[in-house]
Amino acid sequence: MMDPMDFSTGTTNPETFPIEELAEAAACAVREHGVELNTYPGNLGHEGLRKLMAKRELDREGVAMNPERMMLTNGSMQAVTLVAEALCQGRDDVVVMEEYSYAGTIDAYNSLGIDMVGVPVDDQGMKVEALASILTRLDKEDRPPRFIYTLPTYQNPTGAVMPLERRIELLKLAREHDCIVVEDNCYGDVHFEASPKPPALYTLDDGPNQIYMCSLSKIFAPGVRLGYLTASSDELFDQILARRHDAGSNTLAAAITARYLEDNLWEHCERANVGLKEKRDAMLDALEAEMGNLCSWSHPPGGLFIWVQVPDGVDLLRLEALAAEREVSFAHGWEFHIHGAEGPFIRLAFGWASVADIHEGIARLAHCIKQAPA
Ligand SMILES: Cc1ncc(COP(=O)(O)O)c(C=O)c1O
């Protein structure tokens, strides 16, 4: 169980978790799917949940996704790993990605021996002018990337959203270099503002080189371990499917989740987002009140994280120790750098703690930052 002032992990809000409704859905799902549970799920996984997730994508993006070309995965983390296993052929294969990215992907790609080439990021995500020169350089070096891995919406850890023009430019560059694009849209529906977000990359390119993955962890529950992956061509999809040797993902979890979400997917997201927005705002307010003159931070319109720049000279290990004494935790910025480069950054997750604990925890953290210069 996480501590009350744990700001280190990207979890959903326990206060909006629908325990009773889920218990009812579980009872129904077991009755409805009883016999199916006696069989293996197959590589694509539970059809009902795939159809529901295809509808989720259609409703959000206005573009149909074929549930027959969609596989359920053990969290989107399995999708992240499978793609690399399928598309990389040996150690030192190159993958181009944001230089700050999801720590789980960095760990997985490190252990696969992938040579991660980082593209600088700003508050609009991956900088595409830098991407252009990196792709040209890699071509000249005869090291074309196996794919570009990107988090264009509510980037983890920075919270950045890539604007439409950059998305179009990124896709144009990928086409020019004949490069596959892997879009990780883990936070796609964790959206707090009224203004619409830019369309997903997969809706903006009808070529055969798009891979798209999403998750149920960030809007529903990481414990169900459900994500999904699709690709824009059968060839690419089958190449990834062929790497799968786990007999498919958990039918029971998928059946219960589908049963719960099929009547109220968007109501559930709406409820969850209202609670998360309240927590994001509480954290922004607490940061302003406690660290206004000390640090700077992002103002993410969605996702689960605030990216904080601490004053130069703060010893982050000492800060971690001081904060742990006061029962506060955060994630170090270097965990999200593809080469573990140190920088004056920490990432704060606001989904788990209560509003009261967010205020208290940020006050304690501010106190620790003042104590932590090297
Ligand atoms: C960008 C990104 N991708 C993938 C994942 C993996 O999530 P899961 O396997 O729970 O779907 C995470 C988890 O934090 C993430 O931030």
What is the DSSP secondary-structure string of 187-221? TTT-B-SSSPPPPPGGGS--SS-EEEEEESTTTT-
What is d(CA 84, CA 77) in angstroms, rounded to the nearest whole number? 11
- How far is CA 290 from each of CA 94, 336, 370, rounded to the nearest angstrom? 42, 25, 11
Higher pLDDT, 194 or 162: 162
Q: How many residues are listed for the chain in this entry?
A: 374
Q: Select from 291, 356, 370, 282 the least CA-distant residue to 323.
A: 370
Q: Which residues line ligand 1 (CB under 6 A)?
A: 10, 75-77, 80, 102, 104, 151, 156, 184, 186, 215, 217, 222, 227
Region 344-372 average pLDDT: 96
Ligand 1 probe mutation, 76, 105, 190, 224, most atoms within 8 A of CB: 76
Instruction: Flag whether pLDDT at 374 surpasses 80.
Output: no
Question: What pLDDT was estimated at residue 321?
Answer: 96
Substitution candidate for ligand 1 out of 80, 161, 250 with most atoms within 8 A of CB: 80
294 Cα–ligand 1 center, Å: 30
Average pLDDT score over residue span 328-352: 97
- Computed over every residue of the chain, the mean pLDDT equals 96
pLDDT at site 2:
85
3-state helix/strand/coil string of 130-159: HHHHHHHHHHHCCCCCCEEEECCCCCCCCC
CATH 3.40.640.10 domain residues, the chain: 19-264
| Segment among 87-91, 125-129, 135-139, 289-293 with least mean pLDDT | 87-91
Closest atom of ligand 1 to CA, residue 10: 14
pLDDT digits (tens, 9 = 90+) for 13-43: 999 999 999 999 999 999 988 888 889 999 9
**pLDDT (0 to 100) of residue 49:** 97
| pLDDT score of 373 more than 90 | no
Helix (H, G, I), strand (E, B) or coil at 302: strand
Instruction: Report the separation in Å between the CA atom of 12 and the middle of ligand 1, taken as the mean of its atom positions.
Output: 12
Q: What is the pLDDT of residue 366?
A: 97
Burial of 267 (0-12, 13-18, 19+ CB in 10 A): exposed
Instruction: Round to whole Å and give the CA distance between 134 and 54.
Output: 34
- Distance (angstroms) between ligand 1 centre and the Cα of 24 equals 27
User: Which amino acid, 3?
Assistant: D
Q: What is the pLDDT of residue 1?
A: 79
Note if the pTM is more than 0.95.
yes
Among protein residues, the one with the nearest Cα to ligand 1's atom 14 is: 10
**pLDDT surpasses 90 at 92:** no
Ligand 1 pocket mutation pick from 154, 212, 218, 226 by most atoms within 8 angstroms of CB: 218
Q: Whose CA is nearest to atom 6 of ligand 1?
A: 77
pLDDT in tens, 254-270: 999 999 999 899 999 99
Of all atoms in ligand 1, which is nearest to the CA of residue 155?
Answer: 1
Element (H, E) at 126: strand 125-126
The CB density around residue 213, as the number of other CB atoms within 10 Å, is 26
CA of 77 to the centre of ligand 1 (A): 6
- Ligand 1 center to residue 93 CA distance, Å? 22
Concatenated DSSP letters of 218-236: TTT-GGG-EEEEEESSHHH
Report the separation in Å between the CA atom of 371 and the middle of ligand 1, taken as the mean of its atom positions: 33
Q: Measured in angstroms, how far is the CA atom of residue 349 from the centroid of ligand 1? A: 13
Which of 153, 186, 352 for mutating ligand 1's site (highest number of atoms within 8 Å of CB)?
186
Ligand 1: nearest atom to the Cα of 80: 4
The answer to whether the Cα torsion of 19, 25, 28, 29 is positive or negative is: negative
What is the crossing angle of helices 251-261 and 47-61, to 10°? 50
CATH class of the 266-371 domain in this structure: alpha beta
Q: Where in the chain is the domain with CATH 3.90.1150.10?
A: 266-371
Q: Does domain 19-264 have CATH number 3.90.1150.10?
A: no
Adjacent-strand bridge partners of 215: 227
